[in-house]
């Protein structure tokens, strides 16, 4: 039997063994701290992402039994992990794919062990990887028996994952997880700074490219500006010469215009004097002709044969027609001179229209036309009787002149009118004026659409007269328009070629 070891010697042996173990542990921790200091110094000095990660993987292989190691970086706001660096023990240098990662090795957040590690922010230590439900084998990848994944967390944000693996189950020395966790935390800060530096560098490159492009454009713009300035100065000199020549021409033209203006003023004065004389010289004999024709028809009518009676009626009718033309001419002169003011009084519009219809009916009958008046109740209208009667005569004369068949209808009504759109079929939703509306509808040849807007222009006829009875001064509708507007109303026309025309106007029931 072996000799029993004295208790004191046994205690000393145990103490020595514990001391040796603590010394080895201390030496290991000291070495780890030295490595971490070196890594920290490197991480602080360098912003080269490839160099940082490659050095970290080299230390992983030196300090562990890992056969394969890789670093995945977060992308797209941390929703995706991409393979940035991968290497195996014995490789001359790990494969570096950069921040954009390997195109065929991408993992969604929460996918596989690395995805779980990034999502949870905690290490994953798998003694037997194949038995862990989080493990997802990669087709064509290195065999994995045991696996360790450490999140790279900097400032509360996961920037990537450090992976270590061994092809055999239990092959990794997982008891060094504390060291690897510290290494991962240092690496996370370094990677975060490197990525930020890389982003700044890329932004700087973009900015430099933009500055170069902007400089190139500015230089080009300056050249173009200098060329444009030279051209502009040349054009300016040419323009000054042309302006000087044009000014001389204008001065000469102004002198000629002043002479012409004096001549026109004199011609206008002579015209007014001539028209006043014509008015006096024509009205007196014309009134005599009309009066004597009427007197002869009244006194000798029953004894005259039809031919002589027709001649006297023709004399009276043509005399009145000529009188109407003269009155239109002098009425237009007063309108254009601004001297015509309506003398408003309360008019019975239906009675006034009845008188106008009776006066025009003989001329309509001569052409075989019916002239019908269809009145409705209309309140008294504040208007000038003479001027409104002239409007009616002109519209009726126009309807008779351009109609060869059918019936001319005159209608009155009261309506709510939109002054901006008086021809609208529906009354305005709000606003408008209450007015008396007069419509003169014929079944003549109508007006072409392109002529509708011009029929109220002075001396304008939609088409050249085809018959002697259609000839006129071209002033009737112009005068009608001006007289209606003088009362605060509006006039308009609806027409269809071959069907007929309807001229309408309204007079407000309240004087403006």
* pLDDT one-digit tens code per residue, 128-138: 998 999 998 88
Count Cβ neighbours within 10 Å for each residue of 19-33 and write b for 16 or more, e otherwise: eeeeeeeeeeeeebe
Start-to-end Cα distance in the chain = 144
Neighbours of 126 (CB within 10 A): 21
Count Cβ neighbours within 10 Å for each residue of 311-343 and write b for 16 or more, e otherwise: ebbebbeebbeebbebbbeebbbebeeeebebe
pLDDT tens for 12-30 read 777 677 766 666 555 555 5
In a domain, 450, yes or no: yes
- CA-closest candidate to residue 497, choices 461, 442, 449, 460: 449
pLDDT of residue 309: 76
* Res. 467: pLDDT tops 90: no
- CA-closest candidate to residue 356, choices 324, 313, 404: 324
In a domain, 85, yes or no: yes
Could you say which of 199, 229, 256 is where a domain stops? 199
Could you say which of 199, 218, 249 is where a domain stops? 199
* Res. 166: pLDDT tops 60: yes
Average pLDDT over every residue of 250-278? 82
pLDDT of residue 243: 92
Quick check: helix, strand or coil at residue 367? coil
| Average pLDDT of the chain, as a whole number | 82
DSSP 122: S
Total-model pTM: 0.46
Average pLDDT over every residue of 269-286? 72
Q: Which of 143-157, 194-208, 234-248, 290-304 has the lowest mean pLDDT?
A: 290-304
Q: Which of 247-251, 419-423, 459-463 holds the top average pLDDT?
A: 247-251
Confidence of residue 32 (pLDDT cuts 50, 70, 90): low
pLDDT tens for 370-389 read 999 999 999 999 999 999 99
In a domain, 325, yes or no: no
Beta bridge partners of 373: 410
Could you say which of 154, 182, 199 is where a domain stops? 199
- Alpha carbons 90 and 57: distance in angstroms, whole number: 12
Using an 8 Å Cβ cutoff, are 148 and 163 in contact? Answer: yes
Q: Which residues, 6 or more positions from 435, have their beta carbon under 8 angstroms from its beta carbon?
A: 414, 415, 416, 417, 489, 506, 507, 508, 509
Q: What CATH number is attached to the domain comprising 372?
A: 3.30.565.10
In a domain, 136, yes or no: yes
Give the domain extent around 386.
342-508
In a domain, 433, yes or no: yes
* Res. 322: pLDDT tops 80: no
pLDDT of residue 435: 92
- Alpha carbons 228 and 231: distance in angstroms, whole number: 5
- Extract the runs of DSSP E, i.e. beta strands, from 300-378: 345-347, 370-374
In a domain, 427, yes or no: yes
Number of domains in the chain: 2
- CA-closest candidate to residue 153, choices 117, 196, 179, 189: 189
Quick one: angle between helices 49-63 and 7-45, nearest 10?
Answer: 170
- Alpha carbons 405 and 396: distance in angstroms, whole number: 15
Burial class (CB in 10 A: 0-12, 13-18, 19+), 14: exposed
Q: What CATH number is attached to the domain comprising 76?
A: 3.30.450.40
Confidence of residue 471 (pLDDT cuts 50, 70, 90): very low
- Alpha carbons 9 and 197: distance in angstroms, whole number: 62
- Alpha carbons 242 and 235: distance in angstroms, whole number: 10
Higher pLDDT, 279 or 81: 81
Beta bridge partners of 494: 502
pLDDT of residue 41: 58
pLDDT of residue 469: 46
Longest Cα pair distance anywhere in the chain, in angstroms?
188
Beta bridge partners of 73: 82, 160
In a domain, 234, yes or no: no
In a domain, 177, yes or no: yes
- Alpha carbons 114 and 60: distance in angstroms, whole number: 17
């Amino acid at each position: 039997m072996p000799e029993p070891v004295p208790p004191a010697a046994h205690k000393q042996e145990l103490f020595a063994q514990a001391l040796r173990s603590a010394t080895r542990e201390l030496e290991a921790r000291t070495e780890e701290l030295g490595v971490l200091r070196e890594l920290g110094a490197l991480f602080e000095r360098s912003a080269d992402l490839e160099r940082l990660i490659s050095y970290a993987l080299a230390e992983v292989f030196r300090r562990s039994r890992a056969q394969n190691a890789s670093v995945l970086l977060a992308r797209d706001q941390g929703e995706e992990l991409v393979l940035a660096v991968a290497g195996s023990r014995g490789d001359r240098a790990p494969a570096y794919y950069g921040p954009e990662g390997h195109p065929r090795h991408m993992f969604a957040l929460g996918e596989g062990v690395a995805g779980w590690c990034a999502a949870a922010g905690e290490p994953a230590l798998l003694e037997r990887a194949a038995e862990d439900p989080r493990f997802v084998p990669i087709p064509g990848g290195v065999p994995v028996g045991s696996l360790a994944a450490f999140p790279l967390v900097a400032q509360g944000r996961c920037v990537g994952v450090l992976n270590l693996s061994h092809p055999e189950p239990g092959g990794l020395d997982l008891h060094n997880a504390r060291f690897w966790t510290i290494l991962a935390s240092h690496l996370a800060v370094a990677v975060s700074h490197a990525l930020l530096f890389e982003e700044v560098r890329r932004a700087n490159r973009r900015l430099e490219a933009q500055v170069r492009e902007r400089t190139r454009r500015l230089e080009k713009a300056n050249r173009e500006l200098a060329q444009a300035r030279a051209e502009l100065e040349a054009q300016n000199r040419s323009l000054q010469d042309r302006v000087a020549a044009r000014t001389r021409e204008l001065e000469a033209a102004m002198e000629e215009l002043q002479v012409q203006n004096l001549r026109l003023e004199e011609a206008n004065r002579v015209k007014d004097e001539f028209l006043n004389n014509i008015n006096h010289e024509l009205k007196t004999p014309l009134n005599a002709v009309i009066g004597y024709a009427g007197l002869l028809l009244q006194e000798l009518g029953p004894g005259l044969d039809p031919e002589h009676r027709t001649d006297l009626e023709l004399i009276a009718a043509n005399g009145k027609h000529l009188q109407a033309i003269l009155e239109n001419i002098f009425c237009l002169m007063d309108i254009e001179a601004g001297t015509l003011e309506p003398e408003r009084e309360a008019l019975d519009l239906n009675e006034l229209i009845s008188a106008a219809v009776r006066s025009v009916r003989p001329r309509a009958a001569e052409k075989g036309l019916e002239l019908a008046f269809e009145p409705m109740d209309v309140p008294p209208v504040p208007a000038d009787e003479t001027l409104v009667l002239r409007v009616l005569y002109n519209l009726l004369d126009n309807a008779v002149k351009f109609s060869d068949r059918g019936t001319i209808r005159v209608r009155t009504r009261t309506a709510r009118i939109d002054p901006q759109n008086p021809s609208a079929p529906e009354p305005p939703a709000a606003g408008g004026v209450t007015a008396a509306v007069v419509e003169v509808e014929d079944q003549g040849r109508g007006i072409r659409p392109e002529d509708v807007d011009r029929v109220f222009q002075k001396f304008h006829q939609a088409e050249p007269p085809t018959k002697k009875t259609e000839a006129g001064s071209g002033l009737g509708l112009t005068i009608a328009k001006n007289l209606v507007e003088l009362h605060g109303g509006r006039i308009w026309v609806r027409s269809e070629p071959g069907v007929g025309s309807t001229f309408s106007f309204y007079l407000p029931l309240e004087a403006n």
